[in-house]
DNA sequence: CGACATGTTGATGCGTCTCAAACGCAGTGG
DNA sequence: CCACTGCGTTTGAGACGCATCAACATGTCG
């Protein structure tokens, strides 16, 4: 669950992540010679409690990070997109299951070799550390959301997060892909599918968003959406999506 | 918010933390020459959004990690006990406020010097990384709690956590100190003070716990408490408090 | 002793969950 | 090409858990 965030809940900077002009070694580089594995949507990469044998780089597709209570209640603690890492927290066992939301492609790296590589290269260490910090920041934001925000704020927050994440050149009215089902969204937001559905419908009827097919939404009023998300004091430091100039 | 956990939500191992037989340099060691600062209960060590100038080691007392939404809703994302670090995530600004729950003593270390020290000493890096991972695991457990657990499960979970944390030689009927107020507990558990109070009363009337003064509780039935906490699948790996043999 | 903070207990309301049914889209086979 | 089927989603009615508001008890400190 290595979601890179900007200040608090936010976007992954591809510039840093992929380091296109790589003089500096990047975390991705150590995966570049590894074999690609493909999985169908719905398949499980690893299970909560499994010995943590590998670290994965997500090359394409989206994963969900799942935890389940003994009576079946399900919690999704995050979504992992292409360019991010899975299982990099380097504990003996995975703390969660990783399930493919879409068809996915990953590169696998042995845990020990990954750890050695990290030990050897200071720049990689730096990046890994930075990602852990980002992930921790995201986790704290999520705690705030789950602790004190109502259904509408949660859904708006989620839509904003997804908008920033795909970061598609930020037009005034971005179209956001939502590859996951309503159930996934519900389990991520601590709600039920019905509540998520009702909230989305209400937002649409108010003209804040507009449905665009099963798995995407047009953000009609990004500013309204942001104010409805009930950001915390610290969040104004994060770049709002509507502020990004030029770069269409 | 560097809470060390055992497997998932759990205890800080003093053996690792304080490294009493220190051949290996410990994170604490780099603070050992620093001046001690003392603060009264209720005072704020640093504010959410402040430039992250320092890293702190808590020598004595307890802090709460606080985030506030723009309309005043308050969330506590963690409690920091003696032996743990504050502000070590090494971002430009603090992501949360740190407030003293009790009278506290801390050692301060300049952020840059701390970072240099971390860069220079592999063992410290290892420890810091391990703590970050533990903190992340704790954050995920908390997300599960806030997302899907009811009031009773939350309170029981909290009491268990506190029991493991103080780790007082685990008698059959441990006495747990709760230095924080009901409001703190409520803001940590995503509840109101009234609900926390009612839940505690109900647990007491059922003989699971017994009040022992304002700020401490006797855990009368640890096993019952654990089952009421609604642990997740992974948690059985964590040592339950009643299993610890000998060591009285 | 009074003033204030903290905690408990009670009555009521609201937001979300639960249960249930209908809808819509995608894929399939006739 | 279209009915058929299955799954995800939407929509509705009612129930329930926790929040809210309020009163009171207790502890603490001047």
DSSP chain A: -----SSSS----HHHHH-SS-SS--GGGGGTTSPEEEE-TT-EEE-TTSB--EEEEEEES-EEEEEEBTTS-EEEEEEE-TT-EESTT--SB-SSEEEESS-EEEEEEEHHHHHHHHHH-HHHHHHHHHHHHHHHHHHHHHHHHHHH--HHHHHHHHHHHHHHHH--S--SS-EEE--S-HHHHHHHHTS-HHHHHHHHHHHHHTTSEEE-STTEEEES-HHHHHHHTT-BTTGGGSPPGGG--S--
Mutation choice for A interface testing from B121, B140, B192 by most A CBs within 10 A: B140
Residue B1 has pLDDT above 70, yes or no: no
Taking CB atoms and an 8 Å cutoff, what residues of chain B touch A49?
Answer: 233-234, 237
**CB contact at 8 A, A182 and A197:** yes
| pLDDT score at B230 | 84
- CB-nearest partner of B140 from A73, A139, A149: A139
Task: Determine if strand D comes within 7 Å of the CB of A194.
Answer: yes
Task: Supply φ then ψ for residue B70, to 5 degrees.
Answer: -60, -25
Position of tokens 């699971």? B208
Which residues, in sequence order, are bridge partners of residue B98?
Answer: B46, B65
Task: Determine if strand D comes within 7 Å of the CB of A51.
Answer: no
The whole model's pTM is what? 0.86
Mean predicted confidence (pLDDT) in B190-195: 98
Contact (CB<8Å) A89/B144: no
Q: How far apart are CA B24 and CA B123, in angstroms?
A: 7
Q: Minimal Cα–Cα distance from B125 to chain A, Å?
A: 9
B8 → chain A, closest CA residue: A95
Q: Residue A240: which of A156, A118, A177 has the closest Cα?
A: A156
**CB contact at 8 A, A2 and A88:** yes
Taking CB atoms and an 8 Å cutoff, what residues of chain A touch B1?
Answer: 140
Say which nucleotide is closest to residue A149, CA to C1' distance.
C15
Structure tokens at B204: 């007491």
Q: Could you give the C-alpha distances from A72 to A186, A187, B103, B177, B232, in angstroms and in order?
A: 15, 12, 42, 33, 9
| pLDDT score at B23 | 57
Say which nucleotide is closest to residue A204, CA to C1' distance.
D10
| pLDDT score at A165 | 86
Average pLDDT, chain A: 84
Average pLDDT, chain B: 84
* CB contact set of B96 (below 8 Å; sequence gap of 6+): A140, B1, B48, B65, B66, B67, B77
Average the pLDDT over each of A137-141, A238-242, B48-52 and give the range with the smallest value.
A238-242
Mean predicted confidence (pLDDT) in A85-95: 90
Q: Residue B208: which of B246, B161, B174 has the closest Cα?
A: B174
Reported as a pLDDT band with limits 50, 70 and 90, residue A11 is very low
Contact (CB<8Å) A136/B135: yes
| B203-223 residue pLDDT tens | 999 999 999 988 999 999 999
Q: Minimal Cα–Cα distance from A107 to chain B, Å?
A: 22
| B38-89 residue pLDDT tens | 999 999 999 999 999 999 999 999 999 999 999 999 999 999 999 999 999 8
- CB-nearest partner of B139 from A71, A93, A140: A140
Reported as a pLDDT band with limits 50, 70 and 90, residue A238 is low
Structure tokens at A189: 């937001």
Buried residues in B174-195 as b, exposed as e (16+ CB within 10 A)? bebbbbbebebbbbbbbbeeeb
Q: Minimal Cα–Cα distance from B225 to chain A, Å?
A: 16
| A177-230 residue pLDDT tens | 999 999 999 999 999 999 999 999 999 999 999 998 888 999 999 999 999 998
Q: How far apart are CA A169 and CA A164, in angstroms?
A: 10
Mutation choice for A interface testing from B147, B154, B184, B231 by most A CBs within 10 A: B147
Say which nucleotide is closest to residue B181, CA to C1' distance.
C6
| pLDDT score at A34 | 72
* CB contact set of A35 (below 8 Å; sequence gap of 6+): A107, A108
Structure tokens at B213: 């003064």
Strands B175-177 and B85-86 come out as: unpaired
Taking CB atoms and an 8 Å cutoff, what residues of chain B touch A95?
Answer: 8, 137, 140, 234
Contact (CB<8Å) A234/B147: no
Residue A16 has pLDDT above 70, yes or no: no
Task: Determine if strand D comes within 7 Å of the CB of B25.
Answer: no
Higher pLDDT, B29 or B109: B109
**CB contact at 8 A, B78 and B58:** no
**CB contact at 8 A, B219 and B163:** yes
% of residues, chain A, pLDDT over 90: 65
């Amino acid at each position: 669950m290595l979601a890179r965030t900007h200040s608090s809940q936010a976007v992954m900077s591809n510039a840093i992540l992929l380091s296109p002009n790589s003089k500096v070694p990047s975390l991705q580089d150590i995966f570049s010679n590894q074999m690609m594995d493909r999985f169908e949507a719905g398949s499980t990469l690893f299970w909560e409690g499994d010995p943590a044998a590998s670290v994965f780089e997500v090359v394409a597709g989206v994963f969900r990070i799942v935890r389940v209570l003994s009576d079946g209640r399900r919690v999704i603690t995050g979504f992992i997109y292409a360019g991010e890492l899975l299982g990099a927290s380097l504990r003996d066992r995975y703390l969660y299951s990783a399930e493919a939301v879409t068809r996915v492609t990953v590169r696998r790296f042995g845990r020990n070799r990954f750890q050695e590589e990290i030990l050897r290269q200071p720049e990689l260490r730096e990046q890994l550390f930075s990602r852990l910090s980002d992930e921790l920041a995201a986790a704290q934001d999520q705690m705030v959301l789950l602790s004190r925000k109502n259904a509408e704020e949660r859904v708006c927050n989620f839509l904003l997060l997804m908008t920033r994440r795909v970061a598609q050149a930020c037009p005034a009215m971005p179209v956001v892909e939502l590859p996951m089902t309503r159930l996934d969204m519900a389990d991520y937001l601590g709600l039920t599918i019905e509540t998520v559905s009702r909230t989305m419908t209400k937002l649409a009827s108010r003209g804040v968003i507009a449905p665009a097919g099963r798995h995407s939404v047009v953000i009609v009023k990004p500013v309204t959406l942001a104010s409805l998300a009930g950001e915390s004091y610290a969040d104004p430091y994060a770049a709002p999506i509507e502020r990004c100039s030029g770069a269409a």
